[in-house]
Amino acid sequence: MNGINENAGWGVMITEHWARVSAELRSEIGENNHKSWIEPLECVSLQGGVVEFRAPSRFVGDWVKRNYQDQIFQRLRSDNPAIARIEFNVGTQPRKAPATPAARPADAPALRDNNLQGAPLDGKFNFDNFVVGKPNELAHAAARRVADGGDVTFNPLFLYGGVGLGKTHLMHAIAWELHEKRPDLQVLYLSAEQFMYRFVQALRDRQIMDFKNLFRSVDVLMVDDVQFIAGKDSTQEEFFHTFNALVDQNKQIVISADRAPGEIKELEDRISSRMQWGLVVDLHPTDYELRLGILQQKAALFAQTYGPVRIGDGVIEFLAHRITTNVRVLEGALQRLFAFSSLIGQEITMDMVQDCLSDILRTSDRRVTVEEIQRKVAEHFNIRLSDMLGPKRTRTIARPRQIAMYLAKELTSRSLPEIGRRFGGRDHTTILHGVRKVEEMRGSDSQMAEDIDLLRRLLQS
Ligand code: ADP
Ligand code: MG
């Protein structure tokens, strides 16, 4: 290597080299991700073609390995081909204090000039802090698109999904991003409840013209939890007019609700059909991987509030496995553990989890059974339960059976052999085949994807 002694030469330079790569990564992955995952890494040495990093905890190390290893490696290597590998170890030596205290995202709202006349925005609800997985990837992509502030390509964007799946988070993220990218735009975010409140107030104060002018002068209108105005006739009426006026002016509208437009009872038909002119996107219930990602992300955020806390083996995985319905509850559970752990100055152990979270764990204990799944699926497809379990192989029976197998794998903690036993004593390979088949088909068969979503919702409610 041009006579450069690897240790003396690159050994000194590797830290500089890393500083440069780290800066490049910041623009690539965003400020918050960079703060949470890259900044805590210490680049220790380059020896024998191996760059060694030290991470402050196993948890940070694992996360970086899983998510950023390739990026880091490629970048380092493109400058110095002698680098063959990178390694992450957990640090035992005290780290230098950072030169500037890390900015807390929680401070963000106060720092931003909030000239919105809408609801206050949560500084933590930004895109950097939104973890993307299969269940929310389309919603995220659509939200990003709106946040670009370019041409209006779909209007409205209608986001729907169960409680705590990230609708509000995405809407705030759009607002933050637009503030930054397009400060010239008037962005108004508020809940449907606030919309109604203002409308009623304007009626009372005889300022309905002001109300109309305000709402018709914005460039981007975001109304959260629109199901709230269902059945409230004059509010719906006014909302409809506002909506149409803005669409006519080609202004972007973003709406959220807890269910699809057509499923909101007492929402006028003309409104619900108008909602479907744009892009209607479903936030699906989280899957295990997404919950893991969210927990890791939240742990990094909580560490900024509570200080670094050690998390014992298996804790994160356990939470992701057990608290499945609502991200808010998942987050609350983790926060409670952080608060407790920092109070008593001990790492978060499985024992602590059982003690601190007994209430949450008890309520999430109501798990779906394989039998319930079989019953609901049979009902939905109008087949007999006995056929579900029996040997018939015609498609009208076999397909629902495979969907039930798939849901059993997804929604229960039963192993494949256990599921097989409950499907009339089938072999685990048959179950695996069924699960794979459905996984494969649901991507291309939208009817099947819809059936599955509906069943999942029914089973989890
Ligand atoms: P909704 O409005 O759909 O009821 P929220 O947007 O209020 O749900 O989300 C509930 C909590 O879960 C918030 O703290 C939010 O930050 C968090 N959350 C939900 N989905 C995600 C995600 N994909 N990544 C990070 N946090 C999430
Ligand atoms: Mg919400």
Instruction: Please check whether residue 430 is in contact with residue 411, taking contact to mean a CB–CB distance below 8 angstroms.
Output: no
pLDDT exceeds 50 at position 4: no
Name the token pair of 42. 């210490």
Place of tokens 């994160």: 316
- As a whole number, mean pLDDT of residues 321-328 equals 88
Report pLDDT for 295.
96
Work out the percent of the chain whose per-residue pLDDT is above 70.
Answer: 90
Non-local (6+) Cβ contacts of 115 within 8 A are none
415 or 225, higher pLDDT: 225
pLDDT band at 97 (very low <50, low <70, confident <90, very high): very low
CA dist., res. 92 & res. 310, Å (int): 13
pLDDT exceeds 80 at position 340: yes
Atom in ligand 1 nearest the alpha carbon of residue 162: 3
Question: Range(s) for CATH 3.30.300.180 in the chain?
Answer: 10-90
10-90: CATH class: alpha beta
Lowest-confidence region among 158-167, 181-190, 228-237, 360-369:
360-369
Place of tokens 């609350």: 332
pLDDT averaged over the chain? 86
pLDDT band at 337 (very low <50, low <70, confident <90, very high): very high
Report pLDDT for 99.
31
7 or 437, higher pLDDT: 437
Question: Range(s) for CATH 1.10.8.60 in the chain?
Answer: 288-364
Tens of pLDDT, residue by residue over 346-357, are: 999 999 999 999
Architecture of domain 127-282: 3-Layer(aba) Sandwich (3.40)
pLDDT band at 394 (very low <50, low <70, confident <90, very high): very high
Place of tokens 């703060």: 35
Lowest-confidence region among 6-10, 291-295, 376-380, 451-455:
6-10
- As a whole number, mean pLDDT of residues 312-323 equals 91
Atom in ligand 1 nearest the alpha carbon of residue 130: 24
Report pLDDT for 96.
37
pLDDT band at 364 (very low <50, low <70, confident <90, very high): low
Report which protein residue has its CA nearest ligand 1's atom 14. 328
Report pLDDT for 65.
85
Report which protein residue has its CA nearest ligand 1's atom 10. 164
Report pLDDT for 91.
67
Tens of pLDDT, residue by residue over 186-203, are: 999 999 999 999 999 999
Instruction: Please check whether residue 209 is in contact with residue 246, taking contact to mean a CB–CB distance below 8 angstroms.
Output: no
pLDDT exceeds 50 at position 113: no
Counting ligand 1 atoms within 8 A of each CB, the residue from 132, 165, 324 with the most, and so the one to mutate, is: 165
Nearest Cα neighbor of 121 from 97, 147, 99 is 147
CA dist., res. 279 & res. 460, Å (int): 26
Distance from Cα 166 to the centre of ligand 1, integer Å: 3
Report pLDDT for 57.
72
pLDDT exceeds 90 at position 420: yes
Report which protein residue has its CA nearest ligand 1's atom 21. 166
Name the token pair of 275. 């909602």
Distance from Cα 292 to the centre of ligand 2, integer Å: 21
Question: Range(s) for CATH 3.40.50.300 in the chain?
Answer: 127-282
Distance from Cα 83 to the centre of ligand 1, integer Å: 40
Distance from Cα 246 to the centre of ligand 2, integer Å: 23
370-460: CATH class: mainly alpha
Distance from Cα 164 to the centre of ligand 2, integer Å: 7
Report pLDDT for 95.
39
pLDDT exceeds 60 at position 85: yes
Tens of pLDDT, residue by residue over 278-317, are: 899 999 989 999 999 999 999 999 998 888 899 998 999 9
Highest averaged pLDDT of the listed ranges 9-23, 44-58, 393-407? 393-407
Non-local (6+) Cβ contacts of 158 within 8 A are 254, 255, 256, 257, 261, 275, 276, 278, 279, 280, 281
Distance from Cα 332 to the centre of ligand 1, integer Å: 11
pLDDT exceeds 70 at position 103: no
pLDDT exceeds 70 at position 226: yes
Report pLDDT for 92.
52
Atom in ligand 1 nearest the alpha carbon of residue 125: 16
Report pLDDT for 454.
87
For residue 87, give Cα distances in angstroms to 11, 16, 84, 179, 232: 15, 18, 10, 39, 60
CA dist., res. 334 & res. 318, Å (int): 11
Q: Which pTM value belongs to this model?
A: 0.62
Report pLDDT for 461.
63
200 three-state secondary structure: helix
CA dist., res. 331 & res. 16, Å (int): 37
Question: Range(s) for CATH 1.10.1750.10 in the chain?
Answer: 370-460
How does 36-71 read in b/e, with b if 16+ C-beta sit within 10 Å? Answer: bbbebbbbbbbeebebbbbbbbebbbebbbeebeeb
Q: Which CATH code of 1.10.30.50, 1.10.8.60, 3.40.50.880, 1.10.3720.10 fits the domain covering 288-364? A: 1.10.8.60
User: Which residues form the pocket of ligand 1, taking CB atoms under 6 Å from any ligand atom?
Assistant: 125, 129-131, 136, 161, 163-169, 294, 297, 327-328, 331
Tens of pLDDT, residue by residue over 117-146, are: 677 888 889 999 999 999 999 999 999 999
